[in-house]
Amino acid sequence: MTDATRETTYQCPTCRRLELFVQPQCDEGHGEACPDWVCVICGTALFMDTSFAEQVEVEKIRSKPSRVA
């Protein structure tokens, strides 16, 4: 990961409002694709698994019926 801190906003389940979340340094080799995010206010950690959403999109494309003219 670079020196730049990645940040975004998520609905924090502890603060119960939109808060700023940052990515901690990833020691597992994910780099910028690291799924870990931490609330800067309370420290609540979130694991954002985007692989499921990506798989759903792939399945939608595969299951789309072909058109016959």
Q: Which two tokens stand for residue 67?
A: 């058109």
Average pLDDT in the 25-41 region? 88
In angstroms, the CA 41 to CA 43 distance is 6
Residue 1: predicted pLDDT:
40
- Residue ranges per structural domain of the chain: 7-63
Residue 68: predicted pLDDT:
61
Please state the pTM of the whole predicted model: 0.63
State the CB neighbour count (10 A cutoff) for residue 21. 22
For residue 54, what pLDDT band results from cuts at 50, 70 and 90? low
Looking at per-residue pLDDT, the higher value among 11 and 66 belongs to 11
